[in-house]
């Protein structure tokens, strides 16, 4: 018995020591870098600057980029992302204006493509999870984003405003060393589905382009970026987020469960919720469920049709309760 206790004691000591060594390793190593492995096609990529592509890119960016990169002066100079819990450190997005030094004026189309897919910059440094990686977005839509980044949108005009780099805390460093890695480049080109195939289009918009699943799954750390449908609690919601006042807002169950999901909603209610943030129970949906007015009714209706094919989850999510302010 005594001996067993001793062994247990030694084992515990070894664990503590190992944990200490790994902690030291992680803090010294910080956010890991990666080898840049561009294919020749990516390295020489030149995206056409046609206006239809720029327009499509501007639309996508209004949903996918501006919120994080639009600075105080109304330009895409980056900002301190104050809504990210302090637990992760001070997260600061970057200047993506045309300025050649502090912005991305000197990046080639290929470098942008490679970075948007993987998060890896040309110097091998890697952007941690706060900068999303667009690994399932169709090539055409990624080209649209790049065409827009190159466009004469006044918010992208060269601007020298710059923040200090983000300060990532120990937790982010641990996650970036153990759980989050750059996604692999797609093996073959990703095509935008035929718009006549409503369900395929809805699936692409919800799982591929606009990442509805990432917020609407059950656990941020169990989201599967490669196979969205394998994410824990896929579309069953419940992830804890914060609104701009720092209050907890949980993502909603948007499977078709009649009681706990949106099974009883009409398509019109769904469209009004997604496009204009209208909550059918009254009032508006909370941040970070921001309105997406640039989506067309056809697109949102396709997402609705796709959600009808997702396995139903009976999962009651505790809803955000607006504070009743008494006067
Ligand atoms: C959730 C917030 C968020 C969203 C959404 C987002 N970004 Fe970022 N972005 C960041 C952060 C944070 C960084 C800095 C990462 C770092 O510290 O390495 C960054 C870095 C970048 C960089 C690297 C700039 C440099 O000088 O290294 C580019 C380019 C970029 N983002 C473009 C985009 C584009 C284009 C979109 C939309 C398709 C987008 N981002 C969407 C947060 C975001
Ligand atoms: C940044 C995270 C995030 C993203 C991305 C996101 N949502 Fe949400 N969504 C939420 C949160 C949080 C709520 C709950 C808001 C509330 O309680 O007021 C919500 C609520 C909803 C609701 C209302 C459900 C209800 O029961 O009230 C619908 C519908 C919805 N989202 C659809 C979508 C669709 C479709 C997409 C993709 C185009 C999407 N969401 C993308 C976070 C997100």
Residue 277 belongs to domain with CATH number: 1.10.760
Q: Do residues 57 and 171 share a domain? A: yes
Alpha carbons 112 and 108: distance in angstroms, whole number: 6
Q: What is the pLDDT of residue 324?
A: 62
Q: What is the pLDDT of residue 325?
A: 57
Instruction: Please provide the average confidence, as pLDDT, over all residues in the chain.
Output: 92
Compute the average pLDDT of residues 126-143. Answer: 95
Q: CA distances (Å), 253 to each of 68, 202, 207, 318, in order?
A: 25, 17, 15, 10
* Strand ranges for the chain from DSSP E: 89-90, 167-168, 240-242, 248-250
Range of the domain at 214: 198-307
Q: Do residues 44 and 146 share a domain? A: yes
92 or 28: whose pLDDT is higher? 92
Q: Do residues 111 and 232 share a domain? A: no
Compute the average pLDDT of residues 298-308. Answer: 98
Q: Is the pLDDT of residue 326 over 60?
A: no
- Show which of 127, 147, 178 is a domain's final residue: 178
Q: Which residues of 112-149 are buried (b: 16+ CB within 10 A; e: fewer)?
A: bbbbbbbbbbeeeebbbbbbbbbbbbbbebbbbbbbbb
The count of domains in the chain is: 2
Q: Is the CB of 279 under 6 A from ligand 2?
A: yes
Distance 131 CA to ligand 1 centre (A): 5
Alpha carbons 258 and 223: distance in angstroms, whole number: 24
Output the six-digit token pair for 187. Answer: 């093996």
Which residue CA neighbors atom 25 of ligand 2 most closely?
252
Q: Do residues 106 and 159 share a domain? A: yes
Highest mean pLDDT among 122-126, 173-177, 179-183: 122-126
Compute the average pLDDT of residues 123-138. Answer: 94
Q: Is the pLDDT of residue 11 over 80?
A: no
Q: Is the CB of 59 under 6 A from ligand 1?
A: no
Question: How would residue 229 be classed by pLDDT, with cut points 50, 70 and 90?
Answer: very high
Question: How would residue 243 be classed by pLDDT, with cut points 50, 70 and 90?
Answer: confident
Residue 224, domain member (yes or no): yes
Q: Do residues 46 and 100 share a domain? A: yes
Helix orientation angle between 139-149 and 51-64, rounded to the nearest 10 degrees: 90
Q: Is the CB of 91 under 6 A from ligand 1?
A: yes
Residue 11, domain member (yes or no): no
Alpha carbons 39 and 43: distance in angstroms, whole number: 6
Q: Do residues 170 and 222 share a domain? A: no
Which residue CA neighbors atom 35 of ligand 1 most closely?
65
Whether a cis peptide bond, with omega within 30° of 0, leads into 262 is no
Residue 229, domain member (yes or no): yes
Residue 61, domain member (yes or no): yes
Residue 31, domain member (yes or no): no
Compute the average pLDDT of residues 98-127. Answer: 97
Q: Do residues 82 and 112 share a domain? A: yes
């Amino acid at each position: 018995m005594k001996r067993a206790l001793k062994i247990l004691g030694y084992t515990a000591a070894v664990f503590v020591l190992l944990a200490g060594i790994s902690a030291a390793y992680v803090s010294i190593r910080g956010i890991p870098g990666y080898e840049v492995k561009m294919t020749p096609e990516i390295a020489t990529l030149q995206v056409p600057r046609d206006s239809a592509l720029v327009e499509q890119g501007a639309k996508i960016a209004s949903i996918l980029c501006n919120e994080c990169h639009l600075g105080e002066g109304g330009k895409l100079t980056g900002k301190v992302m104050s809504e990210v819990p302090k637990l992760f450190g001070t997260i600061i997005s970057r200047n993506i204006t045309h300025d050649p030094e502090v912005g991305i004026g000197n990046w080639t189309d290929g470098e942008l493509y490679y970075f948007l897919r993987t998060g890896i910059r040309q110097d091998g440094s890697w952007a941690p999870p706060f900068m999303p990686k667009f690994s399932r977005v169709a090539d055409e839509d990624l080209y649209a984003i790049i065409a827009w980044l190159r466009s004469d949108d006044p918010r992208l005009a060269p601007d020298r405003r710059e923040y200090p780099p983000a300060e990532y805390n120990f937790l982010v460093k641990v996650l970036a060393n153990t759980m989050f890695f750059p996604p692999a480049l797609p093996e073959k080109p990703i095509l935008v589905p035929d718009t006549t195939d409503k369900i395929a289009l809805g699936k692409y918009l919800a799982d591929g382009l606009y990442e509805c699943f990432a917020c609407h799954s059950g656990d941020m750390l169990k989201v599967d970026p490669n196979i969205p449908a394998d994410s824990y609690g896929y579309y069953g919601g419940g992830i804890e987020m914060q609104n701009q006042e720092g209050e907890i807002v949980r993502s909603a169950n948007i499977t078709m469960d009649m009681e706990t999901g949106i099974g009883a909603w009409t398509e019109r209610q769904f469209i009004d919720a997604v496009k204009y943030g209208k909550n059918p129970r009254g009032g508006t949906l909370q941040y970070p469920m921001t309105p997406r007015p640039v989506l067309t009714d056809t697109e949102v209706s396709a997402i609705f049709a796709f959600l009808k094919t997702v396995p139903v989850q009976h999962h009651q999510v505790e809803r955000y309760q607006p504070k009743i302010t008494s006067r």
